[in-house]
Amino acid sequence: MMAKSYRTIKMLSEFGPSLTLPHSRKIVGTDDLYELRVQVATNICRLFYFYYNKEIYIILSGFIKKQEKTDPNEIERALKIRKEYVDEKEQQNKLEEENNEGK
């Protein structure tokens, strides 16, 4: 599963937004959350990610899927991690701008 996950992540880095089903899809009901889809036999893994500044792919979380539908709690968890990441990056950028203005 790990090797196939790495291969799918490599495909994302190579094909970017043009990577679609069966490897990637947008999560319905979200603005910019996507999932990488990895399957080995009957085991299914989902890795949530988003694009940051249209050039960096941030993988947020992953889980082994046991039900037909994606667990809404897993989606909420990924959205929370995404928000924390973006908030932290914006804070860092603000501090860098303030430091550059002071020079």
Quick one: which of 66, 46, 62, 56 has its CA closest to 86? 56
Quick one: which of 13, 7, 3 has its CA closest to 57? 13
What's the predicted TM-score (pTM) here? Answer: 0.86
Query: What percent of the chain clears pLDDT 70, i.e. is strictly above it?
Result: 98
Could you tell me the residue ranges of all domains in the chain? 2-101
pLDDT per residue over 45-82, tens digit each?
999 999 998 889 999 999 998 888 888 999 999 999 99
Q: Where are the beta strands (DSSP E) in the chain?
A: 24-26, 34-40, 43-52, 56-65
